[in-house]
Amino acid sequence: MQLEYESNRLFLRICNEEYASRLLTFQNANRDFFSRWEPKRHDNFYTLAFQQQVLYAEFQASLKGSYLRYYLFRKEAPENIIGTISFSHISLGEDRSCHIGYKLDEAFTGCGYAKEALELLLSELHQDLRVHRVEADIMPQNLPSIHLAERLGFIYEGIAHSSHQINGRFEDHLRYALIFP
């Protein structure tokens, strides 16, 4: 996988710690919006130093091929992060699989940016790394995410009971998978 891609309306890039202030702005702007879908965050999460550490660790993991997080930037405002797409638990052994996670700035939901970025990155993931299976765990009440996954060809596989800690509670998630031929 490359460090940067370009779609019709977006730049998608793996960022290093130089982007920490932009990431902090993105996290702070969406703090309440993301809290419905993410683990409970400590106050230090919302500091420049913490975001620098996150970006450093992510960049190092991307160099090893164990984790990839692409940050989304609109071409018309390339200085602002509007979303992320991550590939974790990347296994290039017999199963050739990974998990996907994505989030988008609340102000840009419903504009097709997530679908545009995911179509590009999923295609590259399959071509470059020969990934066969991509799993997504989605909270049942996150209907926009469910609809997006289904539009991308993910199929519903069942419920992962009490699988992810969200806001201090373990929550059920719906398991979806995209299977490449």
Burial class (CB in 10 A: 0-12, 13-18, 19+), 129: middle
Tokens of 138: 């989605």
Residue 77: the pLDDT is 97
Q: What percent of the chain has pLDDT over 70?
A: 100
Q: What percent of the chain has pLDDT over 90?
A: 96
The residue-averaged pLDDT of 98-126 equals: 97
The residue-averaged pLDDT of 153-161 equals: 97
Residue 94: the pLDDT is 93
Over 90: is that where the pLDDT of 181 sits?
A: no
* Confidence band for 167, pLDDT divided at 50, 70 and 90: confident
Q: What domains can be seen in the chain, in order of their start residue? A: 4-131 (3.40.630.30)
What distance in Å separates the CA atoms of residue 20 and residue 10, rounded to the nearest whole number?
A: 19
What distance in Å separates the CA atoms of residue 69 and residue 55, rounded to the nearest whole number?
A: 9
